[in-house]
Amino acid sequence: MEFKDREFIPVLLGGDINTYSVARAFYEQYQVKTYIFGKFATGPSYGSKIIEYHPNPKIDTDDYFLQTVNGFAKKHKDKKIMLIGCGDSYVALISKHKAELEKNIIAPYIDFDLMNSLQQSILSLYNYDEDPDNVDPYQTLLKGISILAKLPSMAAYAYQSKIHYYDRESLIIHYPKEEYSIAENLLYMLRRDGTFTEQEADLLDVMLMIHADHGGGNNSTFTNVVISSTGTDIYSSITASIGSLKGPKHGGANIRCSEMISAIEKEIGLKATDAQIKQVIKRILDKEFYDNTGLVYGLGHAVYTVSDPRADLLKTCCEKLAKQKKREDEYEFLTRFEKVAKETLAGNGKTLSNNVDFYSGFAYNMLQIPEDMYTPLFVCARMAGWLAHNIENKMYDGKIMRPAFKYVGEATPYKKREER
């Protein structure tokens, strides 16, 4: 049996007859050997002359998958690795870790993370711009507004594609309506029936406004300004900002807070006493509950040390919609948790206010917005602030930003290599 040396190597995950059929197709078309990583040393792929089969019972786990696939890619740096999952679980595994794969691995699947999908979509807009590298302030404004207008559709369609691909749900695509606001279009495109109330749209509109900007020092805006100061295009700057906002310590903080509250509600219930709430807060602080970090998410802010006006406004809006949706019990639990948490932390010598993340999860939940969309919605809102700071830097500074670093460690005398 003869094999030809090609510029690519097929690598499959699986072991059943479907996996063998794909390997067979590669051989008949290209006369190449296929490498298969499966769980068990059985099945039609095991022992085949056109296949090199490697069994590993843990190949479907995150760590072993990355270690195995990336290790194979490193051994074949001069080849393109065609990575294919033969089964839904393997496809999901590949997509989940797509960003962590070696550069010579080709995985023909949509991104598991919607933020990564948004980054790719923004960069793709560069190719549709007739003058993408024009960084004149006015041209930057026009390009930025164009991106701002497209982001809601990009985010909503990425989500709909994801649940269609992974959850086997029907693909629902609503074309945005010109007469709708950004908030209205988001609700329209995310919901199957496209219906929403005026109160729901008003709350989402408030959410978008209070997340639109927060000064030039927050991580994603600073990232945007630093990168744009080099003279690069707006698409590259916004893509970098999205990467910053994706982090759990920045844009992903609202998800952490929402998950924490859900875990607490499940642990002690909505009717828990203040004493029970205080006890679970102490367990969090002692790193004995939730994620064992000792952090009470949704409380404290680097700038707002006394109160967060954004959080105060959001709290009022949530109260109104909670009454309309008959979810007063949940809202009342949140307000009691906030009060007890502040008192408990004050007893530990900390004076903290609730931040905008504290009520964000509850607001999104009442709006039936899936958790996957929390941070992409942050992108839709913060795009306005990124654009404003980008233009401001171009008009009133224009210099490349280069933060200075000062070494504060001890000096070590130099030693020649042979003396080390």
Give per-residue pLDDT as tens, 283-333: 999 999 998 889 899 888 777 777 788 999 999 999 999 999 999 999 999
Is the CB of residue 77 less than 8 Å from the CB of residue 5? no
- Spatial distance between the Cα atoms of 117 and 351, rounded to a whole number of angstroms: 39
- State mean pLDDT over 37-48: 90
Give per-residue pLDDT as tens, 373-397: 999 999 999 999 999 999 999 999 8
Q: Are strands 105-106 and 80-85 parallel, antiparallel or unpaired?
A: parallel
- Which residue would you say has higher pLDDT here, 214 or 237? 237
Residue 324's pLDDT is: 94
From 383, 377, 389, select the one nearest 149 (Cα to Cα). 383
Is the CB of residue 224 less than 8 Å from the CB of residue 238? yes
Residue 158's pLDDT is: 94
Res. 348: pLDDT tops 70: no
Burial class (CB in 10 A: 0-12, 13-18, 19+), 275: exposed
Give per-residue pLDDT as tens, 144-164: 999 999 999 999 999 999 888
Res. 6: pLDDT tops 70: yes
DSSP states of 46-96: TT-TTEEEEE-TTTTSHHHHHHHHHHHHHHTTTSEEEEEESSHHHHHHHHH
- State mean pLDDT over 207-224: 93
Listed range (98-107, 183-192, 236-245) with the worst mean pLDDT: 98-107
Residue 111's pLDDT is: 65
Give per-residue pLDDT as tens, 290-300: 988 898 998 88
Residue 356's pLDDT is: 87
Compute φ and ψ for 181, nearest 5 degrees. Answer: -75, 175
**Residue positions annotated with a catalytic role:** 250, 301, 357
Query: In which band, very low, low, confident or very high, does the pLDDT at 108 lie, cut at 50, 70 and 90?
Result: confident
- Spatial distance between the Cα atoms of 362 and 260, rounded to a whole number of angstroms: 12
Give the pTM.
Answer: 0.76
- Spatial distance between the Cα atoms of 416 and 420, rounded to a whole number of angstroms: 7
- State mean pLDDT over 258-271: 94
Res. 349: pLDDT tops 70: no
- State mean pLDDT over 104-119: 87
Residue 127's pLDDT is: 95
Query: In which band, very low, low, confident or very high, does the pLDDT at 47 lie, cut at 50, 70 and 90?
Result: confident
- State mean pLDDT over 21-31: 95
Give all domains of the chain, ordered by start, each with its CATH number. 8-109 (3.40.50.720), 113-400 (1.10.230.10)
